[in-house]
Amino acid sequence: MDNFENYIKAGKIASEVREYARTQDHTGRTLSEICNDVENEIIKKGGEPAFPVNVSLNDIAAHYTAVPNDPTVVKNTDVLKIDVGVHIDGYIADTAVTVSFDSKYQDLIDIAQRALDEAIGIARSNTRVSDIGRIIEKTITKYGCKPIQNLSGHSLERYTIHAGQSIPNIWTIGHSFNLSVNNVYAIEPFVTTKDGQGIVYEGKVKNIFGIASRKRTKDQRADEFLEYLWNKFKTLPFALRWVVKDYEEKEALSLLETLLKKKNVHAYPILVEGSNRIVVQAEHTIIPQESNTITITK
């Protein structure tokens, strides 16, 4: 596998940065500070962020990243999911951890981690993904909690985070496939409490964007902006925080609005638990082998 070294390197950085984020006391910090800090760590270690660091609080399961100068402050009662992506030349490692400064959530956090460990324990080439979904669901429900049914892990390819194949967090009848040797997959159970719906819905907030089409817009400024975005991010997601280094914020927002309207750029809405219950997440990126699996983000 030609690109194995890049995956191992991306995985090592992602893992170190995740642990860096996990072991800090984020209480009293703003989400801007945390995002910038974590992304700077990635760059310091020689990687590039594969997507804006996700800092999703409480009932937000995923896809929140700080806006420029985001004033949201982390409280000692919050549950914070930190989802980190690192790429080396487009080869991506994706990993997440949940932190809380209130010990009453620790059991929930441990359950997500255990579900992930159990899933990785059976993952190798030819493992049916329905078996992975089954073991994740079983582990979570055994402790009286619920998996989020409509969030899943995914295959990864160069410069593509969601490369088309889903790794379910529940057992489902019907379509399944087997893991392939030397393909790359993220496994990421999301867990909520038993009074949660176990389903997420799209929220109104959209802070993460990606290029959908490079078709010209007939608006010269918008075309230049699109070219700038392509040169910087290719098919990878980006945040307004990253753009305001080169563009004035008001101008960037207006150009982004134009590109969204013309469907050159799409936005990823935040995903919120249906009964507004706490959601926790754990995630690793793996490369299945014949008789075991390599966890590149261990």
Task: Compute the least distance from the CB of residue 258 to Mn ion, in Å.
Answer: 29
Q: Is 94 a catalytic residue?
A: yes
Q: Is 283 a catalytic residue?
A: yes
Task: Compute the least distance from the CB of residue 95 to Mn ion, in Å.
Answer: 7
Q: Which of 78, 83, 137, 273 is catalytic?
A: 83
CA gyration radius, the chain: 19
Between 169 and 188, how does the x/- string for binding to Mn ion read (CB under 5 A)? -----------------x--
Q: Which of residues 96-115 bind Mn ion (CB under 5 A)?
A: 96
Task: Compute the least distance from the CB of residue 142 to Mn ion, in Å.
Answer: 24
For Mn ion, which stretch binds (CB under 5 A), given 36-44, 75-83, 122-130, 192-200?
75-83
Q: CB-wise, 256 or 286, nearer to Mn ion?
A: 286
Q: What are phi and psi of 246, to 5 degrees?
A: -115, -20
Q: Which of 157, 162, 249, 266 is catalytic?
A: 162
Size of residue set near Mn ion by CB under 5 A:
5
Q: CB-wise, 61 or 259, nearer to Mn ion?
A: 61
Q: Characterize 229-268 residue by residue with b for buried, 16 or more Cβ atoms within 10 angstroms of its Cβ, and e for exposed.
A: beeebeebbbbbbbbbeebeeeebeebbebbeebebbeeb
Between 76 and 95, how does the x/- string for binding to Mn ion read (CB under 5 A)? -------x----------x-
Q: Is 266 a catalytic residue?
A: no
Q: Is 5 a catalytic residue?
A: no
What is the set of active-site residues? Answer: 83, 94, 154, 162, 188, 283
Q: Which residues bind Mn ion (CB under 5 A)?
A: 83, 94, 96, 186, 283
